Structure 1
């Protein structure tokens, strides 16, 4: 209604409709962008900037960021200027509503109608790619991302998402090269740096990931609550490469930024237990993580394994049995329960659990250890092997 009113040269009515729409859906990027551009055309750049900045405080979006940059440089075009574009916008809005849930297949029809009416419609291409991703069709998603025009502010996000899809289909080297080219082209943009850092960490290239997390942290400047994951992820990489003091510092920083983040509480608490440091505080942190995520098998596994490391066999068994209930096909958790059974004197159950762990395809280094335990059991306590140092599965 607001767009139609503006096209009919009724700015007062248009502002009323924009204000009402924005008050009910303040996080709708399309409404904020249309309202902001309207205010700019009406000679109110300050009001436009306020609308954009209020949105960006909660959600980062390249179209809004680009709009802020362009305030005062030129008079912005309306979101739609013809009936054809208006119909395309309507189809896109319907597709957006349908794209989530069981009717997402139907959304493709509306997206394609929108693109037929308005071929240069980057948001529609991104939505089509997103639907393909949710239907596990990465090649089709990549094709849609590649159709976003080079001149569009959305091209950066399209390229990053294309790289993530390449990684998903096993083209990790190609994906990393693409992200490095994007970083070189947009050296001040955080998104591709974060994507590459996470990709490298996901591929267990911890040493290579560290400088990209460091670059991301530098780009952030003064970290806010939402930046906790950069410190947490870099802390993991430091810990996995044997740089514990740096890891501890980063994990503490992540906890400072987000004090009740279960994965951080779990990782730091468990790491302290492993090192026999701050034991009372460490166990409290792991228990808090469990309270925050009572049905997370990986975190409950960490609590059980912490009890195991402290020699509390019966409590370890209780917690690890619960973890296996929640994550029955995880090889590490099954292996941990087998170890706890053995120390508790339940040898047959231990071997049964280790056999289960083998069936779920553990990592090669764990595979060798489990096979040895099946043959000879665990050594006496004074010769106990070093525990697996992964506090919980990283997601």
Structure 2
């Protein structure tokens, strides 16, 4: 049975859904803190603790993803040692921002020119956002001068400046297109912001010119499509808006935000023009998403907090916050973030999927299944797919496959749906049905490496269609040469074809890439045995037993340790 897991593929799919606003370009993060200590071993705050101990505790808490604790410890440093107040306040400012208390962070934000340029730029940005959120945009506009902002905050500063100008009544400043030479993110989202502000100023022809430039490429992004579509709807041009939505849905048929916009346009219920605060918040989200995509998650979280201070109803931002908190082990805080998305929002299915998976990872399978079933009860396609994924994770393979059958029957051909059901059917032991689905998925997307590897390995493991399977997994490996699972599939194909020396070489690389995978180590042991390296084979099989293998692999390794392998098999290439 093919034990290649769908979990990684599905989690990447969910993450892509939450990151649709990611723009081109990469930004650097604020200077990293020192290596984190064990977050469960933080010294207590209180009288008698040394300032240095509190400082170390704060640093450990921040690096462990516990910014609220970090802010508390930095406050203790300040109380215990007034001479250390400067550095404590600077660190407390960052910790408080990450914890989501932008109002307090703005109050704590240091203003000294002795601060590092990035921290000083972040301080100005936070104070500006707080001012924009409280009706004081006129007083904070001088904080948003892109030329004086340090990297990585120049993009956000440039993109927010025209919104602050609009809030302060500057009719000329609000129409200035944000500029940051060489920054593709500012080029794209600056043009989008200018289009939105042109519309607010009644300069509709100029707004549409910008929208057309942004939508004129081969694949305009979701942010452009939704903004331009809303503009068209407000101009009573619903048919053009629907055509624009359909263009994106042709490549992203389950994009819930665009589907919701299309449904709204069909009934003539135009979306209201975003408020200034909403527009400013939407401008910050792609900057945050770009940071997260570049691995700069702490600064991405800071920007999401700023966006949510401007508009707490940015549900895509709440989902990303939940992802980051969950990644730091703050499960309850992550769930609270996911729960901020109401059932009426297009992002609800994604939020519920992540909420259910949070409980699944914690071992609360009953709650995970209950949440998934509740979300799927309304018939939402993404929610049904998520229910199937949760059922498969709980080894309820036939049920996982069966809940997808109505979706497949009622949806346009989608390789992901066929792939998902094929995996569940294969794990349920319903191979003829599984093979049919996997082949159908491959016909729809012949170059997808995960699919090439799954079907190829399934054939290899069954000793079927070996030559075709070998070419399929070669293609998968060429796209993902660092995937231990895919390299293992290639090595196992060589083994099945009787090329044991090549199998050894390839499987050694697979184990090097993923040393903790019991199946890969088991395969390498078999290959060693076939080339006469019996001691090394025994070592690999013993290692399998230390890697928490599933019962099937454990039994196989124990049998081989006791009996070895039977005589060399005849290379196979059987047909189904």
Inter-partner Cα distance in structure 2 for 1:257 and 1:144: 36
Residue 209, structure 1, aligned to residue 400, structure 2: yes
Equivalent pair of 2:376/2:387 in contact (CA under 8 Å): no
TM-score normalised by length of structure 1: 0.83
User: What number of residue pairs does the alignment pair up?
Assistant: 376
What corresponds to 2:444 in structure 1? 257
What corresponds to 1:393 in structure 2? none
Residue 35, structure 1, aligned to residue 228, structure 2: yes
TM-score normalised by length of structure 2: 0.59
Residue 57, structure 1, aligned to residue 250, structure 2: yes
What corresponds to 1:104 in structure 2? 297
Structure with higher RCO (Cα < 8 A, 6+ apart) = 2
C-alpha displacement of 1:288: 4.0
C-alpha displacement of 1:346: 1.8
C-alpha displacement of 1:211: 0.3
What corresponds to 1:191 in structure 2? 382
Equivalent pair of 2:460/2:492 in contact (CA under 8 Å): no
C-alpha displacement of 1:275: 4.4
Residues 75 and 295 of structure 1, relative CA distance in 2, 3 Å threshold: closer
Inter-partner Cα distance in structure 2 for 1:210 and 1:92: 36
Equivalent pair of 2:214/2:224 in contact (CA under 8 Å): yes
Pick from 345, 364, 386 the counterpart of residue 551 of structure 2.
364
Inter-partner Cα distance in structure 1 for 2:474 and 2:314: 50
C-alpha displacement of 1:31: 2.9
Equivalent pair of 1:179/1:196 in contact (CA under 8 Å): yes
Residue 349, structure 1, aligned to residue 563, structure 2: no
What corresponds to 2:421 in structure 1? 234
Unaligned runs of 5+ in 1: 385-395
Equivalent pair of 2:238/2:268 in contact (CA under 8 Å): no
What corresponds to 1:141 in structure 2? 334
* Aligned counterparts, 1:167-186, within 5 A: 167-185=360-378
Residues 230 and 3 of structure 1, relative CA distance in 2, 3 Å threshold: closer
Residues 195 and 269 of structure 1, relative CA distance in 2, 3 Å threshold: same
What corresponds to 1:336 in structure 2? 523
Inter-partner Cα distance in structure 2 for 1:97 and 1:271: 37
| Secondary structure in 2 matching 1:361 | coil
What corresponds to 1:10 in structure 2? 203
Residues 62 and 300 of structure 1, relative CA distance in 2, 3 Å threshold: closer
Q: CA RMSD in A?
A: 2.9
Inter-partner Cα distance in structure 1 for 2:478 and 2:285: 42
Equivalent pair of 2:289/2:300 in contact (CA under 8 Å): yes
Inter-partner Cα distance in structure 2 for 1:93 and 1:310: 49
C-alpha displacement of 1:135: 4.1
Pick from 253, 273, 276 the counterpart of residue 79 of structure 1.
273
Larger Rg over CA atoms: 2
Inter-partner Cα distance in structure 1 for 2:313 and 2:479: 46
C-alpha displacement of 1:102: 4.7
C-alpha displacement of 1:191: 0.3
| Secondary structure in 2 matching 1:232 | helix
What corresponds to 1:388 in structure 2? none
